[in-house]
Structure 1
């Protein structure tokens, strides 16, 4: 069967390494994936323009193969002092337990966040990165037009058919379908989280029947079986996150990798807003359980994410994974501590 994704991106295998932000998608990981014939992706969601350019240069120095980058689309948010103060009070016991000095008190405004985003887009265009994908919403028509004028392949992220249709209508080249099984932050932008929790195997067929752009499946795919199942339902590519997170080249904290690799079936994943203010799937721990009673009162992303930054950092230093954000999909039992090249071999070469 012809595969538009392979043809458009000049890759050998229709596999994309998920662009996990926060230092996981190192230049080493992106390079290894692209060198293996798939599409390595930089997760630039938390970077500024200078750091974004620096990581692009790092990857370019190691490979001439196609690779991509992912940006977070900013959504409007306000600094509501009373809500922030309540959140700070709820976090105080954890700060004291970890011996941390306190939470961040300076926040980036929505206008500043938007400016950083536009600067990142300009860097992507200037550096002629082959692919640019987006999460948390759709960029403006001007941004999409500028990228396409520069010959950059654009990919949106959808959690429902309606979102996929909106991405196609906006003129983007392909869409990542994020099933409810996916680890990390939810990419919904047209409906609430509860209305967007559709399993991947149900989401793919209803979407490929309605959209004409290539569909990339994401959520719980860890091995060749998952890739083949997605393709059987009509997806032209598969995006894997947790499987690459435990690879040797990943920049994930060793404790984080260990939590996934040692996780038993009963170590369930759950959705939480406790760490960032935005719903995300990860391994349930004490922080998530204890913060659940405050969850409906927390400030929105990225303010809550800033508030918990010192907690997450101190927890990593103290080897306390009960206060770390351990984002993970619903299929961690298949994760392995192998190299990206070995994982790619298992995905495409093994019968």
Structure 2
């Protein structure tokens, strides 16, 4: 039977936008585990610096890539939503960026970087890379993980012969890695998803979503996962780059979470706010996720 051969069954999920820091990766490595550098929202040059810094403090690390959207952008819908929220966002002291006609998150340059300067593990979110990308990274020596959210996605991913599948449930904090952001993803619990994906593919599974304590981790390992990825559980650690307001909300017993699209257009799970409640119905499908 295939195995991921990880030194620890618990790995640190990549958290783009600030929470994953060199200090957090150092702590993860010090605990004998594997951390992932998030490539999302970073240029290829910034990613190169991030990986170099991570290596100095953590040794071997993985890198997580956002797979670009293949469907055309509904620019008018994005503009309408931008105009709708602009005044409220600016009143909060933030700025709404311009509408970008095309943004592939520097995909080609990031793949080229990881071929030239490979890391032990590369994971993918929001879809599947082309077979040519898989082949190039594998020849460079990287092992590959593909994120899936149901058995159908897992079957499609298995055709690329990955080393493992990250099975992400609806309980996962942050963005959901579903292939098609226009549809509402399933709500099966993580244990059920792990069993379904294992039965459908036989590929080793890293389970992700709502894993906040040892008993939850043991439950999905017993269900057939070889490892788990934790993210939200690390947000309030001293080493994480979580913003103070976010830290306070995570600790507030009055905070509740829900699935939402209001902030980016992508399916995500986060802490409910007045903003998310007010604008949740606005960025509707089939609008492409707004990544500006």
TM-score by length of 1: 0.78
User: Aligned partners of 1:246, 1:19: CA distance in 2, in Å?
Assistant: 15
Cα deviation for residue 298 of structure 1 reads 8.9
Aligned to 1:166: 156
Confirm whether residue 273 of structure 1 aligns to residue 257 of structure 2. Answer: no
Cα deviation for residue 191 of structure 1 reads 8.0
Unaligned runs of 5+ in 1: 307-351
Could you tell me which of 4, 26, 29 is aligned with 2:24?
Answer: 29
Cα deviation for residue 227 of structure 1 reads 1.4
- From the two aligned structures, give the one with the greater helix fraction: 1
Task: List aligned pairs for 1:74-153, cutoff 5 A.
Answer: 74-100=68-94, 103-107=96-100, 109-110=102-103, 113=104, 116-153=106-143
Cα deviation for residue 45 of structure 1 reads 1.1
Cα deviation for residue 125 of structure 1 reads 2.4
Q: Does the 8 Å contact 1:275/1:305 carry over to 2?
A: no
User: Aligned partners of 2:156, 2:221: CA distance in 1, in Å?
Assistant: 23
Unaligned runs of 5+ in 2: none
Taking a change above 3 Å as real, the CA distance of residues 129 and 81 of structure 1, as seen in their structure-2 partners, is: closer
User: Aligned partners of 2:255, 2:261: CA distance in 1, in Å?
Assistant: 19
TM-score by length of 2: 0.93
Aligned to 2:3: 4
User: Aligned partners of 1:145, 1:221: CA distance in 2, in Å?
Assistant: 32
Taking a change above 3 Å as real, the CA distance of residues 149 and 96 of structure 1, as seen in their structure-2 partners, is: closer
Cα deviation for residue 135 of structure 1 reads 0.2
The size of the alignment, in residue pairs, is 292
Cα deviation for residue 299 of structure 1 reads 4.7
Q: Deviations over 1:220-267 (max 9, x none)?
A: 1012111111111010001101011111111111211121122x2x53
Q: Does the 8 Å contact 1:159/1:197 carry over to 2?
A: no
Q: Deviations over 1:139-169 (max 9, x none)?
A: 0000000111111010000000111121111
Cα deviation for residue 38 of structure 1 reads 1.1
Q: Does the 8 Å contact 1:155/1:173 carry over to 2?
A: yes
